[in-house]
Amino acid sequence: DMKVTQMPRYLIKRMGENVLLECGQDMSHETMYWYRQDPGLGLQLIYISYDVDSNSEGDIPKGYRVSRKKREHFSLILDSAKTNQTSVYFCASSFSGTGGYEQYFGPGTRLTVL
């Protein structure tokens, strides 16, 4: 069963708190992604990971960091969360990092920073 999971699904944090979003996939995909989705802006790439400990910044990496210690698991960390990081975050995975392969998305985490 090809699946991307995300935990938690909903999260409320206060400004300045640390946030950990977790993502898993069961397809042994090399490449994993973190996006955020805001109304009218589509999906913006935060980080891309090409394999374990091989991470690259996306288009909006400021304020975020990532960790990938196992191929099937990819974490997004917000150190000292800000109110403008309130958003829906999606994790995705694909067989390869070239654009020719389908990306499989998780169900998303809705993060509210108060």
Q: By CB under 8 A, name the binding residues for another protein.
A: 4, 31, 33, 40-45, 48, 58-59, 90, 92, 96-100, 102-108
Would residue 27 be called left, alpha or beta, if left means φ above 0 and alpha means ψ between -120 and 50 degrees?
alpha
Least separation in angstroms between CB 68 and another protein? 16
| Minimum distance, C-beta of residue 74 to another protein, in the bound complex (Å) | 15
C-beta of 24 vs 97, nearer to another protein: 97
- Is the Cβ–Cβ distance between 95 and 31 less than 8 Å? yes
Chain center to CA of 65:
10
Give min distance, CB of 10 to another protein, in A: 11
Local structure of residue 52 (DSSP, 8 states): T
